[in-house]
Structure 1
């Protein structure tokens, strides 16, 4: 305990034990008063000893409480770090799965484009062959129309 509190306790005890000394300044100091003062001093020293022991107990209790709080705080920090590490591991797994899905989708798009190109190539080739044949037939019909008026009339009617 601090000194001010000790002095206040001593003053209260002293005034409670010897109220006449506090109020009366003109009383004479006798042998009985000395003995009484010695007893009061003994009592006060015992009270101080008890207060010191209580103070030591309180300090030890506070140290124990602080140690338990530190241990709890360390355990909580350890658990939180373990939780964050587990969460980080799960997030890395999730990122890996996302990369696999994105790669799969890009592969699928590439395959579709390749398949479309390989599927359309024969169709485009066949179409160009048919256009060439159609152009040749049209050219033949135009030459034939120059020689035959019936063919010319039919081609005019069809729009060629």
Structure 2
């Protein structure tokens, strides 16, 4: 037994060892190729995953753009609605002012008409009753003064007889 070990120890490398190394090297190369293929497959999977993430990112960006457009549209609609309400409020204030002015004008016209009508009626009544009644009263007093001396003296003092 020592002789084989001694022989192996002297030379150290036999044909069997060489064949084993060749087979080991071939197996190792095959293993390396398989590992490389697996790494390539894994790289492809990572690339696919990266592409999917990029697709998802682009979709999110598109969604963000749509949301921004919707926000912009909603704010424009809100501004338009606010503008319409302001216009409507302004219009209502104008209508209220017009109705207030018309009401004040009608009230002023009624007061003026009432005063002018009352003045005219009073003047007419005064003229009618004062002019008609006064001469008649004087006639009555003159008739009475014919029989009543005291009344005749009073009427003469005032220049009515």
TM-score by length of 2: 0.57
- Structure 2: gaps of 5 or more residues: 1-33, 149-161
SS at match of 1:118: helix
Mapping of residues 1-160 of structure 1, within 5 Å: 31=35, 34-125=39-130, 126-127=132-133, 129-131=135-137, 133-134=139-140, 137=143
Cα distance, 1:87 vs. partner? 2.8
Q: Secondary structure at the match of 2:105?
A: helix
What is the number of equivalent residue pairs in this alignment? 114
Deviating 4+ runs (over 6 angstroms): 138-142
RMSD value, Cα: 2.9
- Rounded to whole Å, the distance in 2 between the matches of 1:119 and 1:57 is 91
Q: Which runs of 5+ in 1 are unaligned?
A: 1-29, 143-160
Q: CA shift at 1:89, angstroms?
A: 1.8
1:55 Cα deviation after fit: 0.4
Q: Could you say which structure has the greater relative contact order, defined with CA pairs below 8 angstroms and 6 or more residues apart? A: 1
